[in-house]
Amino acid sequence: MESSAIIIGGGIGGLATAIALRAGGWQVEVRERADAAPSTGTALGLWPSALRALDTLGVGGAVRALGRPQTGGAFLRPDGRRIARIDVAELERRTGDAVHLLSRPALLGLLHDAAGPGVVRFGTPVEGAQLPDLERAYDVVIAADGLNSPARTTLFGPSYRAVYAGVTGWRGTVDGDTGAVTETWGEGRRFGITPQEGGRTNWFAAGPEPEGARSPVGEIAALRARFGHWHAGVRDILDRLDEGEVLRHDLYRLDPPLPSYVRGRTALIGDAAHAMTPDLGRGACEALVDGVELAAALLAAPDVPAALRAYDARRRPATRKLARTARVMSRMARVRHCTGVRNAALRAALTLGGPPA
């Protein structure tokens, strides 16, 4: 008898799980709250572990062909002097792959094509109260319902929730190409610039702000007030911004961490399981790996409970370590005094190899 899964959420992690399970012969339905796939979005850094997951899904080659490999990079001071170099060649020697940069809509487009027509039902939200009925109707329920996951709240209660990390992020893209990745760290603030497919440049900025705040004179004005005196590379991006294309979001993390990523016949993946600040650029990567690892466990284990235990044992320690590292990086970036000591610590961390690839 064919096994069945329902996936709540048609984002990166949900689609990855659907593709892998369908390839293994499962019947899969994905329900997505949004009415359509997103058509806008900024670049994602896809690390080697995520690329290996994409290879398992059959789209790794397309991602590498469409995306931009990171060919160099550096952390800079606001005056443009270098804090530390990002050793891209060492990462490639160690893993056989570079970080590839690809926009979220482009990646989702590839994953939707691989999932096949009719798998994702758009405009069909699932509330937490529906979980018991879904567990009776399907062999497994997979909650990929994001940062403010209703499924997580239903299963583990309201004390496990997304909390404001004390930082607001701005992001967007501008016309024109850039080569290397740079991230500039100042007194409590930072500004990143990366290439993106299609000859465009992706940028992001972050700093401490009151939760929910917005600039009454526009976000470009807010960015120029905070970063307009930084080096020429940052000023060049600020000069090319369009107010309608600047995205502003408060940043959140899951706190406290979940005691398990499974409960009953439901498994949580991606931000629903381990939402972390984007300081390592690993949210999409870990959602991909979650999906592939969960599907592999379901295809290999003798029953669903055993598969979910195996998935939890494998993914929870790894993602909790990354979440802790992201939190440390966030605190480092917000240092406003003794930045020389902070910069030396950053250099040391990069010398020791940085986060797992």
**Length of the chain in residues, anyone?**
357
Tens-place pLDDT, residues 96-126: 999 999 999 999 999 999 999 999 999 999 9
Tens-place pLDDT, residues 42-55: 899 999 999 999 99
> pTM for this structure?
0.96
Which residues lie closer than 8 Å to 6 by C-beta, 6 or more apart?
28, 29, 30, 31, 134, 137, 138, 140, 141, 142
What's residue 351's pLDDT? 81
What's residue 180's pLDDT? 79
What's residue 45's pLDDT? 95
Residue of 290 and 199 predicted with greater confidence? 290
- For residue 312, is pLDDT > 70? yes
Strand partners, 335: none
CA distance 277 to 217: 27
| Cα–Cα distance list, 142 to 36, 243, 331 (Å) | 20, 38, 32
CA distance 6 to 3: 11
CA distance 178 to 46: 18
Tens-place pLDDT, residues 158-176: 999 999 999 999 999 999 9
Mean pLDDT of 313-318: 98
In the block, residue with structure tokens 């992690």: 13
Mean pLDDT of 215-230: 97
In the block, residue with structure tokens 């583990």: 156
**What percentage of the chain exceeds 70 in pLDDT?**
99
Q: What is the token pair recorded at 95?
A: 């893993």
Classified as helix, coil or strand, 68 is strand
In the block, residue with structure tokens 């758009």: 122
In the block, residue with structure tokens 């109260």: 129
What's residue 356's pLDDT? 75
What's residue 72's pLDDT? 87
- For residue 202, is pLDDT > 90? yes
How far out from the chain centre does Cα 343 lie?
Answer: 25
- For residue 147, is pLDDT > 70? yes
Rg of the chain over all Cα atoms, to the nearest angstrom:
20
What's residue 245's pLDDT? 93
Q: What is the token pair recorded at 110?
A: 């590839």
**Dihedral pair phi/psi, residue 182, rounded to 5°:** -130, 145
Mean residue pLDDT of the chain comes to 95
- For residue 179, is pLDDT > 80? no
What's residue 354's pLDDT? 67
- For residue 355, is pLDDT > 80? no
Which residues lie closer than 8 Å to 219 by C-beta, 6 or more apart?
170, 243, 246, 248
Confidence of residue 319 (pLDDT cuts 50, 70, 90): very high
| Cα–Cα distance list, 184 to 77, 100, 272, 333 (Å) | 6, 20, 30, 10
Confidence of residue 317 (pLDDT cuts 50, 70, 90): very high
Which residues lie closer than 8 Å to 195 by C-beta, 6 or more apart?
43, 68, 70, 101, 177, 178, 179, 181, 201, 202
Do 207 and 190 form a contact (C-beta atoms < 8 A)? yes
Residue of 276 and 39 predicted with greater confidence? 276
Tens-place pLDDT, residues 231-264: 999 999 999 999 999 999 999 999 999 999 999 9
Residue of 351 and 327 predicted with greater confidence? 327
What's residue 1's pLDDT? 66
- For residue 280, is pLDDT > 90? yes
What's residue 258's pLDDT? 98
Ordered domains of the chain (ranges, CATH): 4-163+252-351 (3.50.50.60)
CA distance 264 to 349: 40
Do 317 and 270 form a contact (C-beta atoms < 8 A)? no
